[in-house]
Structure 1
Protein backbone atom coordinates (compact mmCIF):
# COMPACT_ATOMS: atom_id res chain seq x y z
CA UNK A 1 0.00 0.00 0.00
CA UNK A 2 1.28 3.45 -0.93
CA UNK A 3 1.19 6.13 1.73
CA UNK A 4 -1.09 8.79 0.31
CA UNK A 5 -0.89 11.09 3.31
CA UNK A 6 0.17 14.58 2.19
CA UNK A 7 2.83 16.55 4.03
CA UNK A 8 0.12 18.91 5.26
CA UNK A 9 -2.35 16.83 7.24
CA UNK A 10 -5.87 18.16 7.77
CA UNK A 11 -7.64 16.90 10.87
CA UNK A 12 -11.38 16.55 11.44
CA UNK A 13 -12.88 15.77 14.86
CA UNK A 14 -16.41 14.34 15.11
CA UNK A 15 -18.40 14.52 18.36
CA UNK A 16 -21.93 13.06 18.53
CA UNK A 17 -23.91 14.43 21.46
CA UNK A 18 -27.38 14.31 23.02
CA UNK A 19 -28.25 17.03 25.52
CA UNK A 20 -24.98 16.71 27.44
CA UNK A 21 -24.29 20.41 27.68
CA UNK A 22 -21.99 20.41 30.71
CA UNK A 23 -20.04 17.42 29.41
CA UNK A 24 -19.64 19.00 26.00
CA UNK A 25 -18.45 22.26 27.50
CA UNK A 26 -15.79 20.46 29.56
CA UNK A 27 -14.75 18.43 26.52
CA UNK A 28 -14.34 21.51 24.31
CA UNK A 29 -12.44 23.24 27.08
CA UNK A 30 -9.88 20.41 27.10
CA UNK A 31 -9.63 20.53 23.30
CA UNK A 32 -8.85 24.23 23.47
CA UNK A 33 -5.81 23.48 25.63
CA UNK A 34 -4.11 21.14 23.13
CA UNK A 35 -0.74 22.13 21.70
CA UNK A 36 -2.20 21.82 18.21
CA UNK A 37 -5.73 22.63 17.05
CA UNK A 38 -8.05 20.46 15.01
CA UNK A 39 -8.66 21.96 11.57
CA UNK A 40 -12.38 21.39 12.08
CA UNK A 41 -14.62 20.14 14.86
CA UNK A 42 -17.97 18.70 13.79
CA UNK A 43 -20.63 18.38 16.49
CA UNK A 44 -23.83 16.49 15.71
CA UNK A 45 -26.57 17.23 18.26
CA UNK A 46 -29.54 14.86 18.47
CA UNK A 47 -31.43 16.85 21.09
CA UNK A 48 -31.76 20.52 22.04
CA UNK A 49 -29.59 22.26 19.46
CA UNK A 50 -30.46 25.72 20.80
CA UNK A 51 -28.73 24.95 24.11
CA UNK A 52 -25.78 23.42 22.31
CA UNK A 53 -25.39 26.65 20.34
CA UNK A 54 -25.03 28.56 23.61
CA UNK A 55 -22.28 26.16 24.67
CA UNK A 56 -20.17 26.44 21.54
CA UNK A 57 -20.62 30.22 21.46
CA UNK A 58 -18.00 30.39 24.22
CA UNK A 59 -15.36 28.68 22.07
CA UNK A 60 -14.52 31.16 19.34
CA UNK A 61 -10.95 29.87 19.46
CA UNK A 62 -12.11 26.57 17.94
CA UNK A 63 -13.33 25.92 14.39
CA UNK A 64 -16.69 24.31 15.13
CA UNK A 65 -19.52 23.29 12.80
CA UNK A 66 -22.80 22.27 14.45
CA UNK A 67 -25.41 20.01 12.84
CA UNK A 68 -28.76 18.68 14.04
CA UNK A 69 -30.00 15.12 13.55
CA UNK A 70 -33.56 14.27 14.58
CA UNK A 71 -32.90 10.55 15.09
CA UNK A 72 -31.28 9.64 18.39
CA UNK A 73 -28.45 7.47 17.12
CA UNK A 74 -24.74 7.86 17.85
CA UNK A 75 -23.96 5.73 14.79
CA UNK A 76 -26.01 7.90 12.44
CA UNK A 77 -24.57 11.06 14.01
CA UNK A 78 -21.05 9.80 13.35
CA UNK A 79 -21.96 9.12 9.72
CA UNK A 80 -23.25 12.66 9.32
CA UNK A 81 -19.96 13.90 10.72
CA UNK A 82 -18.06 11.80 8.19
CA UNK A 83 -20.11 13.25 5.32
CA UNK A 84 -19.42 16.80 6.48
CA UNK A 85 -15.71 16.26 7.20
CA UNK A 86 -12.96 17.45 4.88
CA UNK A 87 -9.87 16.20 6.72
CA UNK A 88 -7.67 13.31 5.63
CA UNK A 89 -7.54 12.11 9.24
CA UNK A 90 -10.93 11.75 10.94
CA UNK A 91 -10.97 11.60 14.75
CA UNK A 92 -13.86 10.36 16.90
CA UNK A 93 -14.37 11.02 20.61
CA UNK A 94 -17.34 11.03 22.99
CA UNK A 95 -18.73 14.22 24.47
CA UNK A 96 -17.78 13.12 28.00
CA UNK A 97 -14.06 12.78 27.30
CA UNK A 98 -11.16 14.96 28.39
CA UNK A 99 -8.18 15.32 26.07
CA UNK A 100 -5.58 15.69 28.79
CA UNK A 101 -2.67 14.63 26.53
CA UNK A 102 -1.54 18.00 25.13
CA UNK A 103 0.16 16.36 22.11
CA UNK A 104 -2.90 14.23 21.30
CA UNK A 105 -3.10 15.32 17.64
CA UNK A 106 0.65 15.22 16.96
CA UNK A 107 0.92 11.72 18.42
CA UNK A 108 -1.74 10.44 16.02
CA UNK A 109 -0.31 12.21 12.96
CA UNK A 110 3.20 10.92 13.61
CA UNK A 111 1.91 7.39 14.11
CA UNK A 112 0.15 7.43 10.74
CA UNK A 113 3.21 8.86 9.01
CA UNK A 114 5.41 6.16 10.53
CA UNK A 115 2.96 3.36 9.69
CA UNK A 116 1.87 3.71 6.04
CA UNK A 117 -0.27 0.55 6.15
CA UNK A 118 -2.15 1.64 9.25
CA UNK A 119 -5.73 2.74 8.55
CA UNK A 120 -7.03 3.22 12.09
CA UNK A 121 -5.67 4.01 15.54
CA UNK A 122 -6.96 3.80 19.09
CA UNK A 123 -5.25 4.24 22.43
CA UNK A 124 -5.36 4.20 26.18
CA UNK A 125 -8.62 5.24 27.82
CA UNK A 126 -8.28 6.41 31.38
CA UNK A 127 -11.70 5.97 32.95
CA UNK A 128 -12.67 8.44 35.61
CA UNK A 129 -16.11 8.42 37.21
CA UNK A 130 -17.84 11.75 37.77
CA UNK A 131 -20.69 10.20 39.77
CA UNK A 132 -20.98 12.57 42.72
CA UNK A 133 -23.75 10.59 44.37
CA UNK A 134 -23.58 7.06 42.98
CA UNK A 135 -26.45 4.80 43.93
CA UNK A 136 -25.76 1.41 45.42
CA UNK A 137 -26.93 -0.28 42.23
CA UNK A 138 -24.86 1.86 39.90
CA UNK A 139 -21.67 1.53 41.96
CA UNK A 140 -21.84 -2.22 42.47
CA UNK A 141 -23.08 -3.09 39.00
CA UNK A 142 -20.02 -1.38 37.57
CA UNK A 143 -17.68 -3.17 40.00
CA UNK A 144 -19.38 -6.49 39.29
CA UNK A 145 -18.93 -6.05 35.55
CA UNK A 146 -15.25 -5.09 35.90
CA UNK A 147 -14.45 -8.14 38.03
CA UNK A 148 -16.48 -10.40 35.77
CA UNK A 149 -14.47 -9.30 32.72
CA UNK A 150 -11.20 -10.04 34.54
CA UNK A 151 -12.35 -13.51 35.58
CA UNK A 152 -13.63 -14.35 32.09
CA UNK A 153 -10.45 -13.17 30.41
CA UNK A 154 -8.19 -15.10 32.78
CA UNK A 155 -10.35 -18.24 32.59
CA UNK A 156 -10.51 -18.25 28.79
CA UNK A 157 -6.88 -17.21 28.41
CA UNK A 158 -7.65 -14.30 26.11
CA UNK A 159 -4.58 -12.64 24.64
CA UNK A 160 -4.25 -9.63 26.92
CA UNK A 161 -2.13 -7.73 24.42
CA UNK A 162 -4.76 -7.82 21.69
CA UNK A 163 -8.22 -6.40 21.27
CA UNK A 164 -9.77 -9.24 19.28
CA UNK A 165 -13.13 -10.22 17.81
CA UNK A 166 -14.13 -13.85 18.37
CA UNK A 167 -16.04 -16.04 15.91
CA UNK A 168 -19.13 -15.35 17.99
CA UNK A 169 -18.79 -11.65 17.25
CA UNK A 170 -17.87 -10.87 20.84
CA UNK A 171 -14.98 -8.44 21.22
CA UNK A 172 -12.34 -9.04 23.89
CA UNK A 173 -10.64 -6.31 25.90
CA UNK A 174 -7.89 -8.33 27.54
CA UNK A 175 -6.43 -8.03 31.02
CA UNK A 176 -2.88 -6.91 30.31
CA UNK A 177 -2.82 -3.55 28.59
CA UNK A 178 -0.41 -3.05 25.72
CA UNK A 179 2.25 -0.71 27.10
CA UNK A 180 3.47 0.70 23.79
CA UNK A 181 2.07 -0.20 20.38
CA UNK A 182 0.45 -3.36 19.05
CA UNK A 183 -1.79 -4.78 16.33
CA UNK A 184 -5.49 -5.03 17.18
CA UNK A 185 -8.73 -6.02 15.45
CA UNK A 186 -11.10 -3.26 16.60
CA UNK A 187 -10.98 0.30 17.90
CA UNK A 188 -12.66 2.08 20.80
CA UNK A 189 -15.35 4.59 19.80
CA UNK A 190 -14.52 7.27 22.34
CA UNK A 191 -10.89 7.47 21.20
CA UNK A 192 -10.15 6.56 17.59
CA UNK A 193 -8.95 8.05 14.30
CA UNK A 194 -9.00 6.76 10.73
CA UNK A 195 -7.66 7.72 7.34
CA UNK A 196 -10.56 9.37 5.50
CA UNK A 197 -10.29 6.93 2.59
CA UNK A 198 -11.69 4.04 4.66
CA UNK A 199 -15.07 5.74 4.61
CA UNK A 200 -15.25 5.37 0.85
CA UNK A 201 -15.94 1.70 1.62
CA UNK A 202 -17.30 1.62 5.18
CA UNK A 203 -19.76 3.54 7.36
CA UNK A 204 -21.28 3.03 10.80
CA UNK A 205 -24.36 0.79 10.74
CA UNK A 206 -27.40 3.06 10.40
CA UNK A 207 -29.58 0.55 12.25
CA UNK A 208 -27.79 1.17 15.55
CA UNK A 209 -29.99 3.55 17.55
CA UNK A 210 -29.66 5.52 20.78
CA UNK A 211 -26.34 4.71 22.50
CA UNK A 212 -25.45 2.46 19.52
CA UNK A 213 -23.56 -0.09 21.62
CA UNK A 214 -20.66 -1.74 19.72
CA UNK A 215 -21.09 0.25 16.50
CA UNK A 216 -17.38 1.04 16.83
CA UNK A 217 -16.50 -2.66 16.95
CA UNK A 218 -18.60 -3.50 13.90
CA UNK A 219 -17.11 -0.72 11.77
CA UNK A 220 -13.49 -1.16 12.79
CA UNK A 221 -13.52 -4.95 12.51
CA UNK A 222 -14.80 -4.64 8.94
CA UNK A 223 -11.88 -2.31 8.24
CA UNK A 224 -9.50 -4.83 9.82
CA UNK A 225 -10.91 -7.67 7.72
CA UNK A 226 -10.57 -5.66 4.52
CA UNK A 227 -7.09 -4.19 5.02
CA UNK A 228 -5.59 -7.03 7.05
CA UNK A 229 -3.20 -7.38 9.96
CA UNK A 230 -1.47 -4.16 10.95
CA UNK A 231 -4.25 -1.97 9.59
CA UNK A 232 -5.49 -1.19 13.10
CA UNK A 233 -3.10 -0.25 15.89
CA UNK A 234 -3.23 0.46 19.61
CA UNK A 235 -0.84 3.15 20.83
CA UNK A 236 -0.74 3.72 24.58
CA UNK A 237 0.48 7.32 24.23
CA UNK A 238 -2.63 8.20 22.20
CA UNK A 239 -4.68 8.61 25.36
CA UNK A 240 -7.56 10.52 26.89
CA UNK A 241 -9.83 10.46 29.93
CA UNK A 242 -13.36 9.05 29.65
CA UNK A 243 -15.56 10.41 32.41
CA UNK A 244 -18.65 8.18 32.00
CA UNK A 245 -21.28 10.91 31.96
CA UNK A 246 -23.92 11.44 34.60
CA UNK A 247 -26.40 11.67 31.73
CA UNK A 248 -26.28 7.94 31.08
CA UNK A 249 -28.40 5.18 32.56
CA UNK A 250 -25.64 2.73 33.47
CA UNK A 251 -27.82 -0.06 34.78
CA UNK A 252 -29.27 -1.38 31.50
CA UNK A 253 -25.99 -0.70 29.70
CA UNK A 254 -23.85 -2.65 32.15
CA UNK A 255 -26.43 -5.43 32.36
CA UNK A 256 -26.29 -5.67 28.56
CA UNK A 257 -22.49 -5.82 28.58
CA UNK A 258 -22.65 -8.43 31.33
CA UNK A 259 -24.92 -10.63 29.19
CA UNK A 260 -22.70 -10.05 26.16
CA UNK A 261 -19.63 -11.45 27.94
CA UNK A 262 -21.70 -14.26 29.46
CA UNK A 263 -22.70 -15.35 25.96
CA UNK A 264 -19.04 -15.31 24.92
CA UNK A 265 -18.23 -17.99 27.49
CA UNK A 266 -20.66 -20.46 25.96
CA UNK A 267 -19.64 -19.91 22.32
Structure 2
Protein backbone atom coordinates (compact mmCIF):
# COMPACT_ATOMS: atom_id res chain seq x y z
CA UNK A 1 0.00 0.00 0.00
CA UNK A 2 1.37 3.41 -0.90
CA UNK A 3 1.12 6.22 1.66
CA UNK A 4 -1.52 8.85 1.05
CA UNK A 5 -4.15 9.19 -1.60
CA UNK A 6 -4.49 11.47 -4.58
CA UNK A 7 -6.74 14.42 -3.82
CA UNK A 8 -10.03 14.45 -5.69
CA UNK A 9 -9.95 16.54 -8.85
CA UNK A 10 -12.81 17.74 -11.01
CA UNK A 11 -13.37 19.96 -14.01
CA UNK A 12 -10.70 21.73 -16.06
CA UNK A 13 -8.05 22.12 -13.39
CA UNK A 14 -4.27 21.94 -13.45
CA UNK A 15 -2.93 18.88 -11.64
CA UNK A 16 0.51 17.97 -10.33
CA UNK A 17 1.30 15.69 -13.24
CA UNK A 18 4.71 15.96 -14.88
CA UNK A 19 4.72 14.66 -18.45
CA UNK A 20 8.10 13.22 -19.49
CA UNK A 21 8.89 12.64 -23.17
CA UNK A 22 12.21 11.22 -24.39
CA UNK A 23 12.73 12.03 -28.07
CA UNK A 24 15.19 11.36 -30.86
CA UNK A 25 15.06 13.04 -34.27
CA UNK A 26 11.26 13.18 -34.42
CA UNK A 27 10.38 16.86 -34.27
CA UNK A 28 7.15 16.53 -36.28
CA UNK A 29 5.93 13.51 -34.31
CA UNK A 30 6.86 15.26 -31.07
CA UNK A 31 4.91 18.34 -32.15
CA UNK A 32 1.77 16.22 -32.69
CA UNK A 33 2.26 14.63 -29.26
CA UNK A 34 2.72 17.99 -27.53
CA UNK A 35 -0.29 19.50 -29.28
CA UNK A 36 -2.44 16.65 -27.94
CA UNK A 37 -1.29 17.52 -24.41
CA UNK A 38 -2.36 21.14 -24.81
CA UNK A 39 -5.93 20.05 -25.62
CA UNK A 40 -6.40 17.82 -22.57
CA UNK A 41 -9.50 18.28 -20.42
CA UNK A 42 -7.08 18.20 -17.46
CA UNK A 43 -3.75 19.82 -18.24
CA UNK A 44 -0.43 18.49 -16.95
CA UNK A 45 1.48 20.59 -14.43
CA UNK A 46 4.57 20.62 -16.67
CA UNK A 47 6.04 18.96 -19.75
CA UNK A 48 9.67 17.81 -19.76
CA UNK A 49 11.23 16.97 -23.13
CA UNK A 50 14.57 15.13 -23.01
CA UNK A 51 16.33 15.33 -26.37
CA UNK A 52 18.58 12.36 -27.15
CA UNK A 53 19.64 13.73 -30.54
CA UNK A 54 22.82 15.71 -31.20
CA UNK A 55 21.19 18.24 -33.56
CA UNK A 56 19.10 21.38 -32.94
CA UNK A 57 15.83 20.34 -34.61
CA UNK A 58 13.90 19.54 -31.43
CA UNK A 59 15.40 22.42 -29.48
CA UNK A 60 14.27 24.87 -32.16
CA UNK A 61 10.73 23.45 -31.99
CA UNK A 62 10.50 23.81 -28.20
CA UNK A 63 12.11 27.25 -28.04
CA UNK A 64 9.99 28.45 -30.96
CA UNK A 65 6.43 27.18 -30.78
CA UNK A 66 6.17 26.33 -27.08
CA UNK A 67 8.48 28.69 -25.17
CA UNK A 68 5.94 31.52 -24.83
CA UNK A 69 2.80 29.49 -24.13
CA UNK A 70 0.88 30.43 -20.99
CA UNK A 71 -0.89 27.10 -20.45
CA UNK A 72 1.80 24.55 -19.57
CA UNK A 73 5.51 25.10 -18.83
CA UNK A 74 7.66 23.11 -21.30
CA UNK A 75 11.15 22.27 -20.04
CA UNK A 76 13.80 21.24 -22.56
CA UNK A 77 16.78 19.09 -21.49
CA UNK A 78 19.59 18.10 -23.86
CA UNK A 79 20.90 14.55 -23.51
CA UNK A 80 22.69 14.10 -26.81
CA UNK A 81 25.74 12.27 -25.50
CA UNK A 82 23.89 9.14 -24.35
CA UNK A 83 21.08 8.13 -26.69
CA UNK A 84 18.97 6.10 -24.27
CA UNK A 85 15.23 6.38 -23.67
CA UNK A 86 15.77 4.90 -20.20
CA UNK A 87 18.44 7.40 -19.18
CA UNK A 88 16.24 10.18 -20.55
CA UNK A 89 13.24 8.97 -18.52
CA UNK A 90 15.31 8.90 -15.33
CA UNK A 91 16.61 12.40 -16.06
CA UNK A 92 13.02 13.54 -16.53
CA UNK A 93 11.94 11.96 -13.25
CA UNK A 94 14.83 13.60 -11.39
CA UNK A 95 13.91 17.02 -12.80
CA UNK A 96 10.16 16.75 -12.26
CA UNK A 97 8.00 18.59 -9.73
CA UNK A 98 4.79 16.57 -10.03
CA UNK A 99 3.33 13.92 -7.75
CA UNK A 100 2.54 11.80 -10.81
CA UNK A 101 4.91 11.16 -13.72
CA UNK A 102 3.32 10.53 -17.11
CA UNK A 103 5.81 8.90 -19.49
CA UNK A 104 5.00 9.20 -23.18
CA UNK A 105 6.68 8.09 -26.39
CA UNK A 106 7.27 10.96 -28.79
CA UNK A 107 5.12 9.35 -31.49
CA UNK A 108 1.85 9.04 -29.57
CA UNK A 109 -1.23 11.26 -29.86
CA UNK A 110 -3.53 11.38 -26.84
CA UNK A 111 -7.30 11.68 -26.96
CA UNK A 112 -8.48 14.82 -25.10
CA UNK A 113 -9.61 13.02 -21.92
CA UNK A 114 -6.50 10.81 -21.57
CA UNK A 115 -5.04 12.48 -18.46
CA UNK A 116 -8.46 12.88 -16.83
CA UNK A 117 -9.14 9.15 -17.19
CA UNK A 118 -5.70 8.22 -15.85
CA UNK A 119 -6.38 10.38 -12.78
CA UNK A 120 -9.75 8.67 -12.31
CA UNK A 121 -8.03 5.32 -11.82
CA UNK A 122 -5.65 6.76 -9.22
CA UNK A 123 -8.67 8.21 -7.42
CA UNK A 124 -10.60 4.94 -7.50
CA UNK A 125 -7.58 2.80 -6.55
CA UNK A 126 -5.47 4.63 -3.94
CA UNK A 127 -2.98 1.72 -3.89
CA UNK A 128 -2.13 2.24 -7.57
CA UNK A 129 1.54 2.80 -8.34
CA UNK A 130 1.10 2.96 -12.10
CA UNK A 131 -1.73 3.32 -14.62
CA UNK A 132 -1.47 2.63 -18.34
CA UNK A 133 -3.60 4.00 -21.15
CA UNK A 134 -5.06 2.04 -24.06
CA UNK A 135 -3.65 2.12 -27.60
CA UNK A 136 -6.73 1.96 -29.77
CA UNK A 137 -4.96 1.29 -33.09
CA UNK A 138 -3.07 -1.82 -31.90
CA UNK A 139 -4.34 -4.85 -33.81
CA UNK A 140 -3.10 -8.24 -35.05
CA UNK A 141 -4.76 -10.99 -37.06
CA UNK A 142 -6.24 -13.97 -35.22
CA UNK A 143 -3.84 -16.37 -36.95
CA UNK A 144 -0.78 -14.30 -36.04
CA UNK A 145 -2.03 -13.99 -32.48
CA UNK A 146 -2.49 -17.78 -32.22
CA UNK A 147 1.02 -18.48 -33.52
CA UNK A 148 2.51 -15.89 -31.17
CA UNK A 149 0.65 -17.46 -28.25
CA UNK A 150 1.88 -20.96 -29.15
CA UNK A 151 5.50 -19.82 -28.93
CA UNK A 152 5.12 -17.60 -25.82
CA UNK A 153 5.63 -14.46 -27.91
CA UNK A 154 3.77 -11.16 -27.62
CA UNK A 155 0.05 -11.75 -28.08
CA UNK A 156 -3.29 -10.30 -27.06
CA UNK A 157 -6.06 -11.60 -24.80
CA UNK A 158 -9.26 -9.85 -23.81
CA UNK A 159 -8.91 -7.99 -20.48
CA UNK A 160 -5.72 -9.86 -19.62
CA UNK A 161 -2.21 -8.55 -18.99
CA UNK A 162 0.75 -10.75 -18.10
CA UNK A 163 4.52 -10.98 -18.52
CA UNK A 164 5.68 -14.35 -19.86
CA UNK A 165 8.88 -16.20 -18.83
CA UNK A 166 10.13 -15.54 -22.37
CA UNK A 167 10.23 -11.79 -21.49
CA UNK A 168 7.41 -11.39 -24.00
CA UNK A 169 4.01 -10.12 -22.95
CA UNK A 170 0.29 -10.74 -23.04
CA UNK A 171 -1.39 -7.40 -23.68
CA UNK A 172 -5.06 -6.72 -23.01
CA UNK A 173 -6.84 -6.44 -26.34
CA UNK A 174 -9.67 -5.85 -26.49
CA UNK A 175 -9.90 -4.04 -23.16
CA UNK A 176 -13.39 -3.36 -21.84
CA UNK A 177 -12.77 -2.60 -18.15
CA UNK A 178 -10.08 -1.37 -15.76
CA UNK A 179 -7.78 -4.32 -15.01
CA UNK A 180 -4.78 -5.13 -12.85
CA UNK A 181 -1.53 -5.73 -14.72
CA UNK A 182 1.84 -7.44 -14.39
CA UNK A 183 3.61 -5.01 -16.71
CA UNK A 184 3.03 -1.55 -18.20
CA UNK A 185 4.10 0.05 -21.46
CA UNK A 186 6.51 2.95 -20.92
CA UNK A 187 5.11 5.01 -23.79
CA UNK A 188 1.68 5.73 -22.26
CA UNK A 189 1.96 5.10 -18.51
CA UNK A 190 1.69 7.28 -15.43
CA UNK A 191 3.55 6.37 -12.21
CA UNK A 192 3.49 7.87 -8.74
CA UNK A 193 6.74 9.78 -8.35
CA UNK A 194 7.40 8.25 -4.95
CA UNK A 195 7.88 4.86 -6.63
CA UNK A 196 11.10 6.26 -8.09
CA UNK A 197 12.59 6.39 -4.61
CA UNK A 198 13.09 2.62 -5.00
CA UNK A 199 12.81 1.90 -8.73
CA UNK A 200 14.50 3.35 -11.82
CA UNK A 201 14.52 2.59 -15.51
CA UNK A 202 17.58 0.46 -16.28
CA UNK A 203 20.37 2.87 -17.28
CA UNK A 204 22.36 -0.03 -18.76
CA UNK A 205 20.12 -0.05 -21.84
CA UNK A 206 21.07 2.32 -24.67
CA UNK A 207 19.42 3.39 -27.91
CA UNK A 208 16.53 1.03 -28.84
CA UNK A 209 15.62 -0.07 -25.30
CA UNK A 210 13.67 -3.22 -26.12
CA UNK A 211 11.99 -4.63 -23.00
CA UNK A 212 12.71 -1.59 -20.85
CA UNK A 213 9.08 -0.97 -19.92
CA UNK A 214 8.44 -4.58 -18.94
CA UNK A 215 11.60 -4.53 -16.82
CA UNK A 216 10.73 -1.66 -14.50
CA UNK A 217 7.00 -2.38 -14.29
CA UNK A 218 7.49 -6.09 -13.58
CA UNK A 219 9.96 -5.27 -10.81
CA UNK A 220 7.33 -2.97 -9.31
CA UNK A 221 4.68 -5.67 -9.73
CA UNK A 222 6.79 -8.27 -7.89
CA UNK A 223 7.14 -5.90 -4.93
CA UNK A 224 3.58 -4.50 -5.06
CA UNK A 225 1.46 -7.14 -6.88
CA UNK A 226 -1.84 -5.22 -6.75
CA UNK A 227 -0.51 -1.82 -7.78
CA UNK A 228 -0.49 -1.71 -11.60
CA UNK A 229 -3.59 -0.92 -13.68
CA UNK A 230 -4.75 -0.32 -17.23
CA UNK A 231 -7.85 1.61 -18.24
CA UNK A 232 -9.74 1.39 -21.56
CA UNK A 233 -10.96 4.96 -21.16
CA UNK A 234 -7.58 6.73 -21.47
CA UNK A 235 -7.16 6.21 -25.19
CA UNK A 236 -4.41 7.19 -27.61
CA UNK A 237 -2.92 6.44 -31.01
CA UNK A 238 0.62 5.09 -31.34
CA UNK A 239 1.89 6.10 -34.77
CA UNK A 240 5.02 3.88 -34.56
CA UNK A 241 7.14 6.39 -36.42
CA UNK A 242 10.00 5.12 -38.59
CA UNK A 243 12.04 8.24 -37.98
CA UNK A 244 14.90 8.00 -35.52
CA UNK A 245 14.94 4.21 -35.47
CA UNK A 246 18.26 2.34 -35.89
CA UNK A 247 18.96 0.11 -38.87
CA UNK A 248 17.37 -3.33 -39.03
CA UNK A 249 20.34 -5.45 -37.96
CA UNK A 250 20.91 -3.31 -34.89
CA UNK A 251 17.22 -3.57 -33.92
CA UNK A 252 17.28 -7.38 -34.18
CA UNK A 253 20.57 -7.79 -32.30
CA UNK A 254 19.66 -5.31 -29.59
CA UNK A 255 16.28 -6.96 -29.07
CA UNK A 256 17.82 -10.38 -28.50
CA UNK A 257 20.67 -9.16 -26.29
CA UNK A 258 18.38 -7.06 -24.12
CA UNK A 259 15.68 -9.72 -23.79
CA UNK A 260 18.27 -12.34 -22.80
CA UNK A 261 19.79 -9.94 -20.26
CA UNK A 262 16.33 -9.13 -18.84
CA UNK A 263 15.38 -12.82 -18.75
CA UNK A 264 18.27 -13.54 -16.41
CA UNK A 265 17.54 -10.37 -14.45
CA UNK A 266 13.79 -10.79 -13.87
CA UNK A 267 12.71 -14.40 -14.41
CA UNK A 268 13.18 -17.32 -11.99
CA UNK A 269 15.87 -19.56 -13.46
CA UNK A 270 14.07 -22.89 -13.23
CA UNK A 271 13.99 -25.52 -15.97
CA UNK A 272 10.44 -24.70 -17.13
CA UNK A 273 11.20 -21.02 -17.63
CA UNK A 274 14.46 -21.75 -19.43
CA UNK A 275 12.68 -24.11 -21.82
CA UNK A 276 9.97 -21.51 -22.46
CA UNK A 277 12.60 -18.90 -23.26
CA UNK A 278 14.38 -21.25 -25.70
CA UNK A 279 11.04 -22.25 -27.26
CA UNK A 280 10.17 -18.60 -27.82
CA UNK A 281 13.47 -18.04 -29.67
CA UNK A 282 12.67 -21.03 -31.90
CA UNK A 283 9.25 -19.49 -32.48
CA UNK A 284 10.80 -16.23 -33.64
CA UNK A 285 12.85 -18.06 -36.26
CA UNK A 286 9.80 -20.02 -37.46
CA UNK A 287 7.80 -16.79 -37.65
CA UNK A 288 10.52 -15.10 -39.74
CA UNK A 289 10.70 -18.10 -42.06
CA UNK A 290 6.91 -18.06 -42.45
CA UNK A 291 6.99 -14.38 -43.39
CA UNK A 292 9.68 -15.11 -46.00
CA UNK A 293 7.67 -18.00 -47.49
CA UNK A 294 4.60 -15.77 -47.82
CA UNK A 295 6.55 -12.69 -48.93
CA UNK A 296 9.92 -13.65 -50.46
CA UNK A 297 12.31 -10.71 -50.47
CA UNK A 298 15.92 -9.83 -49.80
CA UNK A 299 14.89 -7.94 -46.68
CA UNK A 300 12.98 -10.90 -45.21
CA UNK A 301 15.83 -13.33 -45.81
CA UNK A 302 18.15 -10.78 -44.19
CA UNK A 303 15.88 -10.72 -41.14
CA UNK A 304 16.37 -14.48 -40.69
CA UNK A 305 20.13 -14.08 -41.07
CA UNK A 306 20.25 -11.22 -38.54
CA UNK A 307 18.22 -13.22 -36.02
CA UNK A 308 20.46 -16.30 -36.26
CA UNK A 309 23.55 -14.09 -35.91
CA UNK A 310 21.98 -12.44 -32.84
CA UNK A 311 21.38 -15.85 -31.23
CA UNK A 312 25.00 -16.84 -31.82
CA UNK A 313 26.15 -13.50 -30.40
CA UNK A 314 24.05 -14.02 -27.25
CA UNK A 315 25.30 -17.60 -26.78
CA UNK A 316 28.91 -16.45 -27.13
CA UNK A 317 28.32 -13.87 -24.40
CA UNK A 318 25.86 -15.77 -22.20
CA UNK A 319 28.17 -15.81 -19.18
CA UNK A 320 28.22 -11.99 -19.13
CA UNK A 321 24.45 -11.77 -19.61
CA UNK A 322 23.87 -14.17 -16.70
CA UNK A 323 25.96 -11.89 -14.48
CA UNK A 324 23.99 -8.85 -15.58
CA UNK A 325 26.98 -7.46 -17.45
CA UNK A 326 25.78 -5.94 -20.70
CA UNK A 327 28.58 -3.42 -21.16
CA UNK A 328 30.26 -5.65 -23.76
CA UNK A 329 27.35 -4.84 -26.08
CA UNK A 330 26.32 -1.33 -25.12
CA UNK A 331 29.90 -0.12 -25.62
CA UNK A 332 29.48 -1.03 -29.31
CA UNK A 333 26.27 1.02 -29.44
CA UNK A 334 27.89 4.03 -27.82
CA UNK A 335 30.91 3.98 -30.10
CA UNK A 336 28.90 3.05 -33.23
CA UNK A 337 31.22 0.09 -33.79
CA UNK A 338 29.76 -2.44 -36.21
CA UNK A 339 28.61 -5.60 -34.46
CA UNK A 340 30.47 -8.68 -35.66
The TM-score normalised by the length of structure 2 is 0.65
Question: How far has the Cα of 1:53 moved from its partner?
Answer: 2.1
The CA deviation string for residues 145-180 of structure 1, in whole angstroms up to 9 with x for no partner, is x95344222687985432211234332235x42211
Question: How far has the Cα of 1:184 moved from its partner?
Answer: 0.9
Which structure is higher in helix share?
Answer: 2
Structure 1 distance, partners of 2:248, 2:143, is 16
Conservation of the 8 A alpha-carbon contact between 1:127 and 1:244: no
Cα 1:38–1:265, aligned 2, differ >3 Å: closer, same or farther?
same
Identify the structure with bigger relative contact order (alpha carbons < 8 Å, sequence gap 6+): 1
Conservation of the 8 A alpha-carbon contact between 2:166 and 2:280: yes
Question: How far has the Cα of 1:6 moved from its partner?
Answer: 4.0
Conservation of the 8 A alpha-carbon contact between 2:83 and 2:206: yes
Corresponding residue for residue 199 of structure 1: 196
What are structure 2's unaligned runs of at least 5 residues? 10-14, 260-276, 284-340
Question: How far has the Cα of 1:36 moved from its partner?
Answer: 2.3
Corresponding residue for residue 173 of structure 1: 171
Q: 1:227 aligns with which of 220, 224, 227?
A: 224
Q: 1:52 aligns with which of 48, 58, 67?
A: 58
Conservation of the 8 A alpha-carbon contact between 2:27 and 2:61: yes
Conservation of the 8 A alpha-carbon contact between 2:184 and 2:214: yes
What are structure 1's unaligned runs of at least 5 residues? 129-141
Rg comparison, structure with higher value = 2
Cα 1:148–1:83, aligned 2, differ >3 Å: closer, same or farther?
same
Cα 1:155–1:43, aligned 2, differ >3 Å: closer, same or farther?
closer
Question: How far has the Cα of 1:86 moved from its partner?
Answer: 1.1
SS, match of residue 239 in structure 1: strand
Structure 1 distance, partners of 2:160, 2:92, is 29
RMSD: 3.1
Corresponding residue for residue 187 of structure 1: 184
SS, match of residue 170 in structure 2: coil
Question: How far has the Cα of 1:262 moved from its partner?
Answer: 7.8
Number of equivalences: 250
Q: 1:239 aligns with which of 220, 235, 238?
A: 235
Corresponding residue for residue 88 of structure 2: 77
Corresponding position: 1:64 with 2:74: yes
Structure 1 distance, partners of 2:94, 2:4, is 23
